[in-house]
Each structure stands twice: as C-alpha cells, then as structure tokens.
Structure 1
Amino acid sequence: MHTLPAPHRDPVAMSGVRESFPVALTRAIDRSGMSLEQLQRRLSVHEVKVSLSTLSYWRRGRTRPERPESLRAVTIIEEVLGLPPGYLISLLGPRKPRGRWASRSSAKSHEALWDGASALNPLLAELDDPGPGELTFLSVREQHFLDREGRDDRTVVHAVIRSEVDWRRTCVVLHRAEPTDLALPTVTALSGCALGQTRTHEPGRFLLSEILLDRVLRIGDTAAFSYEVRWHGSAASTRFVRAMRQCAREYLLEVVFHPEAVPTSCRQFRRESSRLPETDHGELHLGAYNSAHLLTHDEKSAIVGIRWSW
C-alpha cells in the first residue's frame, strides 16, 4: 500500500521555494513510494498511455510534456500523487517555441550535408536530437591529429553552445568513417558532458552520438563541453571535413600532422551542400610545428574543410 501526501498540500508553501518540473515530479514520485511502472499502470486506469521512457525523461528533465495528451497525463499524475491541481502544470512555463524558431532558423537538413542521410531519420528519431534553431553553436574548435602513416587518428572537439529554448539537455553529433576505415569511429566524453545513447548505420558508415550536457538549459543559458573521436583508418587520409546543420558563430579547425608524415601542401575549401562541388578558398600555411588551420566567422557554407597532398 502506497502512502501519499495529504491532498492539496502546497509544496511551495511548505518549502518557500518554487521547484522545477523535473524536481517536483521526482520528489512526488519518491514520496509516493511508487515505481515508474506502477505510476504507468495507474495512468492506464484513467485511459492515459505514457511510455516508461517518457516518464523517465520527464523526471530527468531531458524532455517535457507539451502535447495536449501529455498535459492531460500530467493532470492525472497530480491526482494520483496527491499534488494540488495544476501544480505540476504551473511549473512547465511557456511552451517551447518550436515553430517560431524553426521558421527563423537557417539550419540545413541532414540530406544537404551527407549523401544517403535520409536513412538516418529513424535513428535520429530515437535520440533527443534538437529541433532547428533550438541550439546556437557560439564556438566550435576542432583539433584533428594524424599518425605517422598519415592516417586519421583522433579529433578533439571543444564547443560552446547557447540554448534558445527551455528544457534542452542534449545535442546529437554525427561522424562518418571513410569506406576504407577498419571500423566506425568511437566517441568519448572529455569535459562538461557525458555520452548518452549511440546509434550506428553501417551501410552509410555513420555513428550518431547523444551528448548529455551537465545540466538542463533554459533560454539563454550556455554550456561548454568537449569530446574526442577515435578513428580507425587503414589508409593515408587526404582531407578533413566539417558538415554543420547550423554554422557556428566561430569555427576553428586545426589539422596536426605527425613529424614523419608532413604533406607538401594544404588548401581550404567550402561546399554549399553535398550535392554541389567544392569551392577552393586558397592555400593554407603549414607551420613549423606541422599544423595548418582555418578560422571562420558566421560562415554561410554548410560544409568546410582542409585537404592536403602528400
């Protein structure tokens, strides 16, 4: 038998502090002694269907109820958990401005960035992929390292983002192996984040990784994080490419060559989409420490990169 808090007892009046929706929901569930499975069954009695993963995401702040059927589920949860009517609903605040930001966003489709990307849509639907315009990439810095054989070795990515919506906790990054690579790349979180779910698409050589930020972001909040990609190349590489759905305000790419495998020249290029040819943007200086870099500000091209000759 579950012991519920006295009905209509106002948690705000008790604590003097207004909780966030995830915190209030978690505390109410913990006080009730129910598991998520038991709460789900209680909802089904009221002919409300909510998946366990959705309830878990609501508790952790990864997603929030917005659709009418989800909001009805919240009102039933309030009743089942003995909370004041409308209490959880009041903590949700205004709805995410998906439509407004989608109309203003210049985000490219995955199909514009990658050949064969339409096959990724079912996989992206399984991850908490931000909608167009939900995140602004203020800064992205990549250091790409090659080994002594000229093969892709690892890439370290540092990013600073700003949320344009409430309740954003994740972003999704895509990396693609070359056809000659021995395996798909692997991603490891370094700082300011953790690795969430991953999905792979072997025919297209894609790895999709969910990056869990260190907290739930509200509108205007920023987050800094870094992660590392390990490559499994079997042949000398000749380029590094960054494809961006929404271009970073500032993007820095540095390619670092091994002292025993230094190219004869490096050039930077741009592409408007994967369906259009590259545009050469000139030669890059190869420094004394065997690296070359490009820097962009508010770049309009969806694809930028460095290629080199041995």
Structure 2
Amino acid sequence: MAISDTAFSTALRTAIARSGLSLDRLQARLQANGIPVSVTALSYWQSGKRQPERQSSLSAVRVLEDVLGLRPGELLSLLPPPRPRGHARRRAEPVNFPVEALRALLERVGAPHALEQQHRLTLASLHDRCEIAADGGQRSMTARTVFRSTADGQGRWLLVYDHGGAQTGPPRLHALRNCRAGRVEIDLEHGLTAAELIFDRSIDRGETHLIEYTLTNAGPPYPECSNTYYREFRRPVREYLLEIQFDASPERCWQYERAGDTEDTRDLRLDAGGGVHAVALDFGPGVFGIGWR
C-alpha cells in the first residue's frame, strides 16, 4: 500500500480496476447523472491524496457506488468524519493544509516561530456554540475559552481557522469579551485565516484568562459543513462543551470521540430549543465532535 492509502481509497481503486472503466469514462458517467467531478479529483480519491468531503463530493460517491456495482453505502461507510468548516486549530496543528502556507501566514501576523515554540497557554476550558442554518450550512461559531498561563507576560492567542478551501470566503471575526482582534491575515488559495486575539491584560504563570469570540460566515447560502463539527485536541483539555443549534431539526444526532485506535459514539436528543450538546471531561489527545443527518 502507498503511504497515503486509506480503506476508502483502496476499496475505490479495487472497484474501478474490477469494472474496467477508465477515469475518463467514470467522469462521463458521473456527468451524465448531473454530478460534475474532475478526473483529477477521482485520481486523488483512489490514490488517497484526498478524500470526498463536500456534499457534492459525497453525492458523487453515491453515484460511483451504483456505477461500479457496489452496495449502497459500501464506499461511504469507509470515509472517516470529514473535515468540517469551523474547525479552529490552535497554533501549530497543521493537519489538512500545507505547512509552508501556514508558516507564511503566521509570519504575516507577527509569529514566524510559532510552530517551533513551546505552548505557554494551556486550555483549561472550551465552549463552542455552532449555529446551523436552515440550508444546512454553518452560519456562525462562538467560542468561550479559559486559558492557564505557564509563563509570565502572556498577552495573546493565535487563532488559525480553516474556512474550507478557495471556494469559501473567510468568516468575519468578532472579539466579544476580554480581548480584541489584532492582525488578521487571509490565504485565499488555501482557505486559511490567521488572527491574533490580544488579551485585555497580560497574565503571568498560574493565572487564568477568559476570552470569547465569534466567527460569522456570509450567507445565505452558508458554507457547507458536511453535517459535522469537531475539535481535534493535541493536548488534554479539562472540559470541552460543544453545542449545535439548528434552524431545521435533523433526523438524528450523535456525539463521537476518537482517542488512539478507539472510537465511541452516543445518540443525542434534541432539546426544546432545537439544539444538542455534548461534554468531554479530561479529554485528549483525540477528536471530539457531533454529527447529524
């Protein structure tokens, strides 16, 4: 297997080889079904360089299953939770975008060595509230964060936000409590925004600081979020509260968490206000999120 191979790419490549269809023929079949997908995208999917994430791409996979004579869901079930919009990453956590692009962006906000520096702010508590519009896109994400300092004179936090590629415009950043927005830089090619949130006051070792900010997307239509929202924690977090508020109630909601090789899921019930929430205590490293259908 190639280094980038996944269960999805292996199954897709095997099915394509068994069908005897070229990628050009497959693209023509998809086009005939009203699904425009490039040959390059199909090549990336079967090689594992990329995975289908957008709703249009997932629709293409459903048609591929039919064209290739597979059972409904046989390929889709092999896809991990897609990278959602609204996934805010702290500092040096480049997972789905080029490191060099991130380095250039951080240099523009005055943090050229952020990837190599040791973290001096630990995450004590994090509360995300994500609003999903009636069209299924993400309208906004509000975060309330409590930091604990491990060194004196800490006065800012660097936010790196993945807003979904070149096709999706950057969100608007609003500092709500105990901070203000400093330099904000945008990389339209890679769909990244980097910003510094400057604390109202510097904090010293052992002190805590609470900030709150909102990222708001333009719409409607609002950016697709692939029916999921999650955070990837590279270090433990004492408490993480995730809320999803829906304008249109989904059929089903569930929370999921991945740590190491284990994954746990649990169904969630909508509350009277049309939302769901999930809580993680002493969690990480790992992924914690909510999905819906």
State whether TM-score is above 0.5: yes
Answer whether contact 2:91 2:160 (CA < 8 A) is retained. Answer: no
Residue by residue, what CA displacement relative to the aligned partner does 1:34-65 show, whole Å, maximum 9, x if unpaired?
xxxxxxxxxxxxxxxxxxxxxxxxxxxxxxxx
Q: Paired residue for 1:268?
A: 255
**Cα deviation, residue 272, structure 1:** 5.3
**Cα deviation, residue 304, structure 1:** 2.0
Answer whether contact 1:109 1:245 (CA < 8 A) is retained. Answer: no
Q: Kindly tell me: are residues 218 and 236 of structure 1, through their superposed partners in 2, closer, same or farther at Cα, counting changes over 3 Å?
A: closer
Q: Amino acid of the residue matched to residue 181 of structure 2?
A: L
**Cα deviation, residue 161, structure 1:** 0.8
Greater shift in the superposed pair: 247-256 or 293-302: 293-302
Answer whether contact 1:147 1:153 (CA < 8 A) is retained. Answer: yes
Aligned residue runs from structure 1 range 12-31, under 5 A: none
**Cα deviation, residue 150, structure 1:** 2.1
| Matches of 1:247 and 1:198, distance apart in 2 | 28
Residue by residue, what CA displacement relative to the aligned partner does 1:204-247 show, whole Å, maximum 9, x if unpaired?
21111111001111111211110001123244751112233434
Answer whether contact 1:108 1:245 (CA < 8 A) is retained. Answer: no
The alignment status of 1:308 with 2:292, answered yes or no, reads: yes
| Matches of 1:141 and 1:282, distance apart in 2 | 19
Answer whether contact 1:244 1:302 (CA < 8 A) is retained. Answer: yes
Structure 1: where are the runs of 5+ without partners? 1-106
Answer whether contact 1:192 1:225 (CA < 8 A) is retained. Answer: yes
Q: Paired residue for 2:190?
A: 204
- Of structures 1 and 2, the larger Rg is shown by 1
The alignment status of 1:287 with 2:291, answered yes or no, reads: no
Answer whether contact 2:165 2:189 (CA < 8 A) is retained. Answer: no
Q: Paired residue for 1:121?
A: 103
Q: Kindly tell me: are residues 250 and 117 of structure 1, through their superposed partners in 2, closer, same or farther at Cα, counting changes over 3 Å?
A: farther
Q: Amino acid of the residue matched to residue 242 of structure 1?
A: R
Residue by residue, what CA displacement relative to the aligned partner does 1:162-215 show, whole Å, maximum 9, x if unpaired?
110111111111221134864111211001000011122223211111110011
Residue by residue, what CA displacement relative to the aligned partner does 1:241-266 show, whole Å, maximum 9, x if unpaired?
223343421110000001xx111111
2:246 equivalent among 242, 257, 272:
257
Q: Kindly tell me: are residues 138 and 208 of structure 1, through their superposed partners in 2, closer, same or farther at Cα, counting changes over 3 Å?
A: same
**Cα deviation, residue 149, structure 1:** 1.8
Q: Amino acid of the residue matched to residue 200 of structure 2?
A: D
Question: What TM-score, normalized by structure 2, do the two folds share?
Answer: 0.60
Q: Kindly tell me: are residues 177 and 294 of structure 1, through their superposed partners in 2, closer, same or farther at Cα, counting changes over 3 Å?
A: same
Identity of aligned residues (%): 24
| Matches of 1:300 and 1:226, distance apart in 2 | 22
**Tell me, what secondary structure is at the counterpart of 2:102?**
helix
Structure 2: where are the runs of 5+ without partners? 1-89
**Tell me, what secondary structure is at the counterpart of 1:122?**
helix
Answer whether contact 2:245 2:274 (CA < 8 A) is retained. Answer: yes
| Matches of 2:179 and 2:135, distance apart in 1 | 32
| Matches of 2:182 and 2:145, distance apart in 1 | 17
Residue by residue, what CA displacement relative to the aligned partner does 1:60-115 show, whole Å, maximum 9, x if unpaired?
xxxxxxxxxxxxxxxxxxxxxxxxxxxxxxxxxxxxxxxxxxxxxxx99513x434
**Cα deviation, residue 118, structure 1:** 4.5
Q: Amino acid of the residue matched to residue 287 of structure 2?
A: I
| Matches of 2:203 and 2:227, distance apart in 1 | 38
**Tell me, what secondary structure is at the counterpart of 2:237?**
coil
Q: Paired residue for 1:226?
A: 212
Q: Kindly tell me: are residues 288 and 145 of structure 1, through their superposed partners in 2, closer, same or farther at Cα, counting changes over 3 Å?
A: same
4+ residue runs over 6 A deviation: none
Question: What TM-score, normalized by structure 1, do the two folds share?
Answer: 0.57
Q: Paired residue for 1:54?
A: none
Q: Amino acid of the residue matched to residue 166 of structure 1?
A: D
Greater shift in the superposed pair: 201-210 or 221-230: 201-210
| Matches of 1:289 and 1:146, distance apart in 2 | 13
Q: Kindly tell me: are residues 300 and 216 of structure 1, through their superposed partners in 2, closer, same or farther at Cα, counting changes over 3 Å?
A: same
Q: Paired residue for 2:73?
A: none
**Tell me, what secondary structure is at the counterpart of 1:123?**
helix
Aligned residue runs from structure 1 range 96-175, under 5 A: 109-111=92-94, 113-126=95-108, 127-128=110-111, 129=114, 131-175=117-161
Q: Kindly tell me: are residues 288 and 263 of structure 1, through their superposed partners in 2, closer, same or farther at Cα, counting changes over 3 Å?
A: same
Q: Paired residue for 2:15?
A: none
